[in-house]
């Protein structure tokens, strides 16, 4: 008698299966709406595994957040590095800076498909349900990104004072988060047109970037009165 489907005791696998499953369920149901029992059941591991590997539900949420957002922010900074390198001494083009900021969360994963849409939702959730995430971790993850992009936007828009740029970054984040949070929502989809591929990162960026760039430029000379 062979043991029926031996549980594959790969040591690293349990931890990552938990992160994968938790990420999926948090995206679909929110943090409060997802129980540890559901996560462990769907991951096919024991209930106690979460506390063994992470310590608590809050620590699991932080781990999921960290694994999700870290590569996004790294990609943002890499893209910004490239944009600034190409610009040399002069100011980089505003549209390219904005694209460096919004593209990584839109791509959110391998890019598109059902899995990508789910991770997109989670990117939105970590902003909208921020109170579940350790404030220290949240600040640490975003302070570099904020500072770098704030400086870059300041060079693109020399007439705007730093406070105005900060406010407009806030609006930009809001538009981006909302797009990403409602990706796949049937009610929204119905309003924005029935085409299935309007939610691809490319299509979203083509809609979002010109809107944000124009908003950022508001009041600068050379624009509409």
- Residues lying near DNA in the complex (CB under 7 A) are found at 7, 9, 11, 13-14, 34-38, 45-53, 56-58
Read off the tokens for 58: 């809050």
Residue with tokens 């791509």: 107
Residue 219, contacted partner among a second copy, DNA, none, CB below 5-8 A by kind: a second copy
Minimal distance, residue 210 CB to a second copy, in Å? 5
**CB atoms inside a 10 Å sphere around CB 172:** 21
From the list a second copy, DNA, none, pick the one residue 144 interacts with, judged by a Cβ distance below 5 to 8 Å according to partner type: none
Residue 9 touches which of DNA, a second copy, none (Cβ within 5-8 Å per kind): DNA
Q: Are the C-beta atoms of residues 86 and 53 closer than 8 Å to each other?
A: no
Residue 49 binding partner per list a second copy, DNA, none, with a CB distance cut-off of 5 to 8 Å that depends on partner kind: DNA
Of residues 47 and 151, the one with the C-beta less far from DNA: 47
Q: Dihedral (C-alpha) 8, 9, 13, 14: value to the nearest 10 degrees?
A: 110
**For binding to a second copy (CB under 8 A), which residues are involved?**
29-30, 32-33, 124-125, 127-131, 135, 138-139, 146, 163-164, 166-168, 170-179, 181-182, 185, 187-188, 191-193, 207-208, 210-220, 222-224
What are the residue ranges of helices labelled H in 108-185?
Answer: 113-128, 135-156, 162-181
User: CB 139: neighbour CB atoms within 10 A?
Assistant: 10
CB atoms within 10 A of CB 114: 7
Q: Considering the complex, state which of residue 85 and residue 135 has its C-beta at the smaller distance from DNA.
A: 135
């Amino acid at each position: 008698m062979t043991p029926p489907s031996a549980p594959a005791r790969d040591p690293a696998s349990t931890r990552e299966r938990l992160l994968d499953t938790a990420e999926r369920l948090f995206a679909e149901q929110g943090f409060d709406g997802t129980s540890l029992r559901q996560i462990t059941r769907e991951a096919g591991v024991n209930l106690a595994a979460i506390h063994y590997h992470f310590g608590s539900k809050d620590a699991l949420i932080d781990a999921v957040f960290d694994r999700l957002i870290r590569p996004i922010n790294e990609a943002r900074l890499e893209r910004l590095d490239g944009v600034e390198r190409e610009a040399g001494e002069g100011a980089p083009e505003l549209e390219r800076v904005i694209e460096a900021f919004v593209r990584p969360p839109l791509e959110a994963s391998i890019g598109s498909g059902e899995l990508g849409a789910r991770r997109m939702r989670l990117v939105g959730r970590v902003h909208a349900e921020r109170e579940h995430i350790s404030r220290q971790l949240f600040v640490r993850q975003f302070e570099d990104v904020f500072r770098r992009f704030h400086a870059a936007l300041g060079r693109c828009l020399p007439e705007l004072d730093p406070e105005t740029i900060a406010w407009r970054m806030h609006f930009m984040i809001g538009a981006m988060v909302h797009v990403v949070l409602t990706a796949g929502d049937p009610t929204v989809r119905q309003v924005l047109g029935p085409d299935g591929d309007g939610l691809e990162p490319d299509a979203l960026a083509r809609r979002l970037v010109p809107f944000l760039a124009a908003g950022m430029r508001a009041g600068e000379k050379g624009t509409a009165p």
